Structure 1
Amino acid sequence: MRYRLTFLFLVLSCAAMAQFPAKGLQLRWEVVENGYQGKAQTLSTFTLVNRTKQAFPAGGWTIYFNFIRFVTPGEVAPGIVAGHVNGDLFRFTPSAGFGGLKPGDSVKLNIVSSAWVTHFTDAPTGPYIVWDTDPAKGQSIADFAVVPSSSDKQLRRTASETKVQTSPEDVYRRNEALRLLPASELPKILPTPASVVESGATVVLDPKEGIMYEPEFRAEADYLALLMGNVFGKPVLTAQGTTGKAAVRLMKDASIKGKEAYRLETDQQGVRIFAGTSTGIFYGIQSLRQLLPLTAKGTATLPAVLVKDEPRFAFRSFSLDVARNFHSKAQVLRMLDVMSVYKVNTLHLHMSDDEGWRVEIAGLPELTQVGGRRGHTLDEMECIQPSYGSGPDVNNATGTGWYSRADYIEILRYANARHIKVVPEVEMPGHGRAAIKAMDARSAKLTKAGDPNANEYRLSDPEDKSQYRSVQEWKDNVMNPALPSTYKFIEKVTAELAAMHREAGVPLDIIHMGGDETPGGVWEKSPACQKLLAESAELNNVDDLWIYFYDKVAQIVNKQGMQLYGWEEAGMRRTKRDGQGLMIVNPVFGNRNFQVDVWNNVMGGGMEDLSYRLANGGYKVVLSGVANYYFDMAYARDYDEPGFYWGGYVDIDKPFYFIPLDLYKNAKEDDAGNPLPASTFVGKDRLTEYGASNIVGIQSALWSETVKSPQRVEYMVLPKLLGMAERAWAPDPSWTQDLGQYNEAWNKFANVVGQREIPRLATLNGGYNYRIPTAGVKNDNGKVLTNVQLPGLIVRYTTDGKEPSAKSPAWSGPIDAKGTLRFRVFDQTGRGGRTVTVQY
């Protein structure tokens, strides 16, 4: 009888599971306390509510969610246990102690997670439920919300921390040195040219006179014709030749040697752009663009100038992560357009990572069909697991997506027309999980079909029992360096990428091969690796496999005529000192034209001098420091600002005040936004003359863990990109020798951005979603003062508690400090930023 009752209970439970609607569940999450128990950890709570008229079952279900903080496994409520799946995917499962939820009942799930949660983008995302009756299918819990944090204990990082958020008063103090300048006093061209001479005269440009060009500059002439057509609202004709009447002439000058150098002359004879190359002509056009009005009727009046220009650094890059969350081809093209305006000449396309593979590779369809799709899965044979809230359905906009071969070739050609080089990145050996799982799926499929070459491109050793956890909590994301199939995969992928570049007419001469964040513990229990170590006289331990791996990668890349490029760790090696592990510059690749991005300059983190150590050691270094150029870092220490902040807060001033060859000199704050002590850089390596010759450029980067829409891409990048473009192109400014001049230079730059470049971005391609800064607000003896980071933008306010609109009063002087006051900054088109509220 007991067995019959048990069977009946199981039948009834299964029926309840099958009938219970996921849309009847409500889930809320909120921070309880950062610095919980005096440690670097957070206590937070999920509240699960049954909003249906039927009981939520006691068992037979699992709730999954993504969270960028590691959740301590264990019981989180009576009978409910939290566990880690992999990466940022966690789950709640019921045990015998859970009795289910009656209609209207709720249960609180108290979790402890690592570090802290101080911005809304830190919160868990993408919860979904899976029933045991249908374990291959997940259902999103659509009624999910994050309760905003507001109290100090929710917003601080640790219990002892006194600075909680950036206040309106903090913003006001930062803006105090800024003042509105007359438009006539502003520099005419951004980024700043090497030399500009103004005569004081003006020039009338009549588009009816058209554009004349030398034969090799036809494409640039067509580009300029479209640009001028947008300004004047009518077609502009072009004609080959250099004599005769023309509004603009594009002319060859062999005496101008630099590939990107040009000379721009505007005088009574018209406008002439001279260069030795089409690239120089293109950059001359971009400078002319900045002299033109945004719109004009009939003719336009320009200042008479003589500009002689070329960039300080040849490598001026923007890196876009399309792997963590996918960004469409259309969005990439929009970013290429804005890059070209500001003379940023390289798009580093981070196309693969643990969470996605985003470019079609002929002959390896699984890379995109498995590695390019995310969704709930039992075995990752058809897709990889959800990450960053992509949810259970593979048809999602952020986790699933890739560029077809035709798409990628179109991106290459579009970039080339704007004189931008696309550098693809194949992340390895760490951050390789999407590729690893795709090749595992390929191997399983072909093995089942009896194919003897099923393991031809396999990246993992199935007998590897090594235990590790990456920074992003992955347990199986590192390619195996002992497998010949790993190198066959690399050869195949690089060859196919090179073929697409050739078809696009832009041969691939440099390729990024990753090297980032490979965790300790990898390969230690891999039979394949142990066999390789035993058979090699040169390899002594698993740390030596790093050099072995990148030497093989370098040979593959160099054989195809490409320069090897990687993250800083690719130029480092693990060793020990006094029994403690540490990373040192690897001398093996220093003389092999190996280029590295150096990202680790977290201020106060101890590695501020790494870029200089690598450059002094012979590596070609791209300054890509998180503290100044990671645009996924939040603009400010503010719960409502999206983005990460582990490397500090990055506003437009951070890329602007960076001094490439002496980064210590003007570094101002640590990763928490606190002033840097003078002792921070004591004992740090300085750049030698030889090292300075190896600094080849500057790169900004947008990592996409928290970036899930085109609007968020543009918000995080703009206007920060303008600060990076200025520092990468412009000559070393005089204020780097006398920091007393900095405030004046910053004021001019902020005015240029606020008065001229924000309006340009508002009209370019229908308008970009650049960030409009928040207002600074100060109570000065009972009177309220306000200011703005970008002079030219308008602060509007209300005193009745309502949201300020474009029709609200513009602040023009002190107002009485009483009641609830709300301030909001607007651009010249009437688009507003985020409102700040003060109570007096």
Structure 2
Amino acid sequence: MNKHVISLALFAGLCYSTNAQQVKHPLNPNDIKIKWGMMENNYKGQGKYFSVFTFINNSKHELPAKGWSIYFNLPRGIDTSVAYDRLKYEHVNGDLNRIVPTSGFIGLKPKIGMDLEMIASDWSLNRADAPSGLYFVWDDEPQTAIALTNYEIVASTKAVQINRTKTDIAPIATPEVVYNRNKVIEDIPANKLTKVFPTPLEYVENAGTFLLSASTTISADPDFSKEATYLSNELKVVLGKAPSISTSKGTIELRKAAMDKEAYTLSVSSSGIIITASTPAGAFYGIQSLKTLMPATAWSGNQKSVVVPGVEIKDAPRFGWRAFMLDVARNFQTKEEVLKTLDWLALYKINVFHFHCTEDEGWRIEIPGLPELTEVGGKRGHKNANIDQLPPSFTSGPDNSTAGSGFYTKADFIEILKYANDRHIKVIPEIESPGHARAAVQSMQVRYDRLIKQGQKAEAEKYLLRDLNDKSVHSSVQGWNDNVMDVSMPSTYTFIQKVVDELIATYKEAGVPLETIHMGGDEVPSGSWEKSPAFAKLQQENPAIKNTNDLWYYYYGKVNEIVKSKGLYLYGWEEVGMRKTMLDGAAHAIPNPDFAGQNVHLDVWNNVIGWGAEDLAYRLANAGYKVVLSPVSNLYFDMSYDKDFEEQGYYWGGFVDVDKPYSFIPFDYLKNTKQDKMGNTLASNFTQGKERLTDLGKTNIVGIQGLLFAETITSAERMEYMLMPKLLGLAERAWAKDPEWSTEKDEAKSNGLYAKAWSDFVNRIGKRELPRLSYYKGGLRYRIPTAGAIVENGMVRVNVQLPGFIVRYTTNGAEPTVTSKQYNAPFSDKGTIKLRVFDVKGRGGRTVEVLNK
């Protein structure tokens, strides 16, 4: 080593020594081991739960007595009135909380542990309910946050930890419970199954087959040229070569003939394939049926040829509105994931994509002229929160590198619009207002502050969404205290007008038609606007506005005028169509006559069993509103699949597995509503007094919608897990005709018909559709069910919800793999039996255990 290098090394060592002496905080926060675990729900018979944080100092340094905070997200309200002697909780905003030392905390010495109890509202059932997104901040470095990775969530295993109340009798999804559910399912031979999905109106198989190969050609009516190109590109993925398209007769023909606008016929014989339709949409749906008619393995790679079974199909949808709503506001999905989702929707003939793009926690679409909406509202993190970005929410953590951050540029959005339009899917953007609007409210506050500093007062106030002197106190369901647009302010309508105009311009640039923009209307918390000077001023100017309830009708009256002036119709959540009044001295809500009969569309979600609004969708349809059935009990895909600690998802509206959308009866959904969300059997007179759907009301049911809110969707993989196979139940119910079991009046006969139909359905999705989706468009990471298992007379018996999936097991305590023994028949092996279900690609689901003594 030369002298120059030596001197550099010595200098570096001296610098390190000097810096080491100057380190403010020798403790590495990740040397503190943190655990959290549930103790019990229904704490002291109250609507609260009791849990415990445990902190163990594995550092050589003491955790100081003061000068630090630990932040975390929690989807429950913490009881901060409890007297904590060492550490305490503080609510920041939304679902963000923090732990701070009290004056009684003397520090945590090395190798010492301590517990911190927590009492919070409602209950905690699964892993998604646990505190998340933990990070550490020193008081003297308030902009620097350290993500805490040395954190463990202790699994809940006891009934007292999982059962929500004394009346919660919904069974925990043990292998035995799952086995007993699955017992009704018959294993149906694949050749006996309908080979097109969703179920066609008329379907007949014939003896012929057609061989798709490199020599396949396509011909099409000129009106179906785009569909012919689409089909050619799809077959290229299968065959490795795109079939040629010509005007002369091809082996696949797309013919035009008079029929309903989305109807088609599909004929497959040894001489060729003929798809007939009157519109490009009908031809497109015929192509989708052809794709599901093909073997699932056709999508696994380039095939020399593919045998297509002979069929004669005549088909048309039950509902013209077959929708799926994706929330990308609470947690973001990339443009690429959205495009793949559109392909999955198109395959199953879903034709409306409700794009939930704005929320309290995120604004995801670029709006020219209002850059703060995405520059601030499109990302989340700790540093300069509420100035440079929104604060952490829903596990997003201290920096903006997670699913909490992201937005679509105008070019991205145009690409999405075009991609959807080519697949005959309408994209309906949602602008949440006036509640659920914190991303917009805060972004426009940042804009105001910037322009005020520049001396541009009039421009600063142009899009301001809250009165700066408003002293109103409110808290939303999600814990926000500042998330509502002030509808008394003219600038709020200037903002709405600007966003609507820019969206219209974007659609026009994309060359895609726009019929409506979803304008929100969900969950405005009580207390909003009560102490707003803007509200007081509006009251003076408009004596008809007596109280803040009247602001609701004032707001949507003005919004309705805005959208109608643009040639659009008003669309929103159910509250848009409701009016508050009094009945026998108590608050009561009725359909608002102001907007009835004006083509106002409503997503009606609230049919939570036991809340009293189970018939709300029918009341609104009977009153003259256009209703999109969106009930939480059956069609909220973000609801947990089952009552299981490892099944992440919400459950406030019940548990939603694939059976819930499949069993939904659109025009009489109370008919087969047998239990409340706690698993209790409903009284025989439960539906007495509930409003039924009239024939006129039926004409106002425009369709049905599955919804995936994203509070717990922190990755694309998690989104796909919650999406499938639930989407298949939605697709079947939206497209196929009313099944026999839904109209049969005799309950015993109806139950028998349902059991038979359910077996057929799960066989079809287990043996055809999910295997197809394992490969289609790169593969979809759907949920693989857990195995059902029971020990009976010394024998281990196993089943699975989806016939066609493989169950493998071990008897030595090892995790089952694709090489483990396959279950084919009951066995008598003793010990702890681990079971795991695998798909066609060898991807495994969650392992379960049974003990055979």
Q: Same fold (TM over 0.5)?
A: yes
Residue 749 (str. 1) matches residue 761 (str. 2): yes
2:105 to 84, 98, 107: 98
- CA separation of 1:248 and 1:583: change in aligned 2, threshold 3 A: same
Q: Distance in 1 between matches of 2:486 and 2:828?
A: 67
What amino acid is aligned across from residue 109 of structure 1 in structure 2?
L
Structure 1 position 436 matched with structure 2 position 441? yes
- CA shift digits 1:300-321 (9 cap, x unpaired): 3333322121111111111000
Q: Tell me the alpha carbon deviations over residues 432-479 of structure 1, each in whole angstroms, 9 at most, x when there is no partner.
A: 000000001100110010013111001111111111111111111111
Q: Distance in 2 between matches of 1:673 and 1:185?
A: 35
In the alignment, which residue of structure 2 is the partner of 1:284? 286
2:102 maps to amino acid: S
Q: How does 1:566-605 map to 2 (within 5 A)?
A: 566-605=572-611
State the match for 2:367 in structure 1.
361
Aligned to 1:511: 517
> Secondary structure of the equivalent of 1:107?
strand
Aligned twin of 1:3: none
CA distance in 2, matches of 1:710, 1:299: 33
Task: Name 1:221's counterpart in structure 2.
Answer: 228
Deviation at 1:16, TM superposition (A): 7.5
Could you say which residue in structure 2 is the equivalent of 1:760?
772
Asked if structure 2 preserves the Cα contact closer than 8 Å seen for 1:649 and 1:672, the reply is no
Residues 211 and 615 (structure 1 numbering): CA distance in 2 closer, same or farther, change over 3 Å? same
1: CA distance, partners of 2:829 / 2:729: 35
What is the identity, as a one-letter code, of the residue corresponding to 1:644?
Answer: Y
Q: State the TM-score, normalizing by the size of structure 1.
A: 0.95
Distance 1:836 1:676, change over 3 A: farther
Offset from partner CA, 1:2-48 (integer Å, 9 cap, x none) = xxxxxxxxxxxx97754433333322111122121121211111122
Q: Which runs of 5+ in 2 are unaligned?
A: 1-20, 745-749
Mapped to 1, the partners of 2:829 and 2:435 lie a distance apart of 56
Q: CA deviation at 1:132?
A: 1.8
Question: Deviation per CA, 1:277-333, whole angstroms, max 9, x where unpaired?
Answer: 111111110011122233284443333322121111111111000011111111111
**What corresponds to 2:189 in structure 1?**
182
- The residue that corresponds to 1:49 in the other structure is 56
Partner of 1:824: 836
Q: After the TM superposition, which of the residue ranges 182-191 and 655-664 deviates more from structure 2?
A: 182-191
Question: 1:303 aligns to what SS in structure 2?
Answer: strand
Contact 1:266 1:304 in 2 (8 A): yes
The equivalent of 1:477 in structure 2 is 483
Report the Cα distance in structure 2 between the residues aligned to 1:161 and 1:224, rounded to whole angstroms. 51
Q: Aligned residue for 2:40? A: 33
Whole-angstrom distance in 2 between the partners of 1:565 and 1:611: 15
Letter of the aligned partner of 1:534 in structure 2? Q
Classify 1:299/1:161 alpha carbon distance in 2 versus 1 (closer, same or farther; 3 Å).
closer
Aligned to 1:405: 410
Q: How many residue pairs are counted as aligned between the two chains?
A: 821
- Confirm or deny: 8 A CA contact 2:380 2:405 kept in the other structure: yes
Aligned to 1:4: none
Which string of whole-angstrom CA distances, capped at 9 and with x for unpartnered residues, describes residues 248-281 of structure 1?
A: 011221x12x221112122344111111111111
User: SS state of the match for residue 126, structure 1?
Assistant: strand
Residue 781 of structure 1, CA deviation: 2.7
How far 1:820 moved relative to its partner? 1.1
Q: Is the 8 A contact 1:41 1:115 kept in 2?
A: yes
SS at match of 2:790: strand
Query: What residue in structure 2 maps to residue 212 of structure 1?
Result: 219
2:812 aligned residue (776, 786, 800): 800
- Deviations 1:57-93 (Å, cap 9, x if unpaired)? 1111122111001101145642322111111011122
Dislocated runs of 4+, deviation >6 Å? none
Q: Give the deviation of 1:160 after TM superposition.
A: 6.3
Alignment of 1:333-352 (within 5 A): 333-352=339-358
Aligned partner of residue 808 in structure 2, secondary structure: strand
1:716 corresponds to 2:722: yes
| 8 Å Cα contact 1:604/1:680 also seen in 2 | no
Q: Hey, what does 2:455 align to over in structure 1? A: 450
Distance 1:579 1:26 in 2: 55
Describe the superposition over 1:553-583 as per-residue Cα deviations: whole angstroms up to 9, x where unpaired.
Answer: 1111111111211011111122222332232
Change (3 A) 1:346 1:263: same
Please tell me whether residue 312 in structure 1 is matched to residue 318 in structure 2.
Answer: yes
SS in 1 for 2:548: coil
Distance in 2 separating the partners of 1:728 and 1:372: 34
Decide whether aligned partners of structure 1 residues 771 and 638 sit closer, same or farther in structure 2, where only a CA change above 3 A counts.
Answer: same
SS at match of 1:744: helix
Please, which moves more after superposition, 21-30 or 517-526? 21-30
* 8 Å CA contact retained: 2:78, 2:121: yes
Name the structure 1 match of 2:423: 418
Match for 1:626 among 632, 635, 639? 632
Partners of 1:551 and 1:207 in 2: how far apart? 59
Per the TM alignment, residue 157 of structure 1 is displaced from its structure 2 partner at its CA by 1.3
The letter for the 2-side match of 1:818 is: K
Change (3 A) 1:299 1:101: closer
Q: Which amino acid aligns with 2:810?
A: T
Distance in 2 separating the partners of 1:504 and 1:116:
46
Q: Is the 8 A contact 2:170 2:643 kept in 1?
A: no
Q: Could you tell me which of 168, 179, 193 is aligned with 2:175?
A: 168
Q: Of residues 697, 708, 711 in structure 1, which corresponds to 2:703?
A: 697
Kindly indicate whether residue 387 of structure 2 is the aligned counterpart of residue 381 of structure 1. yes
Structure 1 distance, partners of 2:605, 2:790, is 36
- 1:632-664 deviation line (CA, Å, top 9, x unaligned): 111111111111111111011110010000001
Query: CA contact under 8 A between 2:262 and 2:281: conserved in structure 1?
Result: yes
The one-letter amino acid paired with 1:262 is Y
Deviations 1:109-151 (A, max 9, x none): 1110011111011101111122221222222222122111122
Which moves more between the two structures, 572-581 or 617-626?
572-581
Structure 1 residues 459 and 304: CA distance shift in structure 2, 3 A: same
2:253 pairs, out of 249, 257, 274, with 249
CA-CA distance at 1:206 after TM superposition? 4.2
What amino acid sits opposite 1:182 in the alignment? P
Q: Give the aligned residue type for 1:406.
A: A
Flag the 1:103–1:205 CA change in 2: closer, same or farther, 3 A: closer
Structure 1 position 794, deviation (Å) = 1.6
3-state DSSP class of the match of 2:322?
strand
Per-residue deviation, residues 181-205 of structure 1 (Å, max 9, x unmatched): 1112101211111222333333344
1:322 aligns with 2:328: yes
Query: Deviation of residue 536 (structure 1)?
Result: 1.3
CA RMSD between the two structures? 1.7
What's 1:7 paired with? Answer: none
Q: 327-336 or 729-738: which moved more?
A: 729-738
Write the deviation string for residues 158-213 of structure 1: whole angstroms up to 9, x where unpaired: 35656561221221121111111111210121111122233333334444131111
- Map residues 66-145 of structure 1 onto 2, 5 A cutoff: 66-74=73-81, 77-145=84-152
CA contact (8 A) 2:167 2:680 kept: no
Q: Which amino acid aligns with 2:792?
A: D
Q: Which residue of 1 aligns with 2:504?
A: 498
Q: Distance in 1 between matches of 2:136 and 2:31?
A: 12
Q: 1:152: Cα distance to partner? A: 2.5
Q: Distance in 2 between matches of 1:334 and 1:663?
A: 31
Partners of 1:465 and 1:690 in 2: CA distance: 46
Q: Does the aligned pair in 2 maintain the 1:194–1:308 contact within 8 Å?
A: yes
Q: Residue 452 of structure 2 aligns to which amino acid in structure 1?
A: T
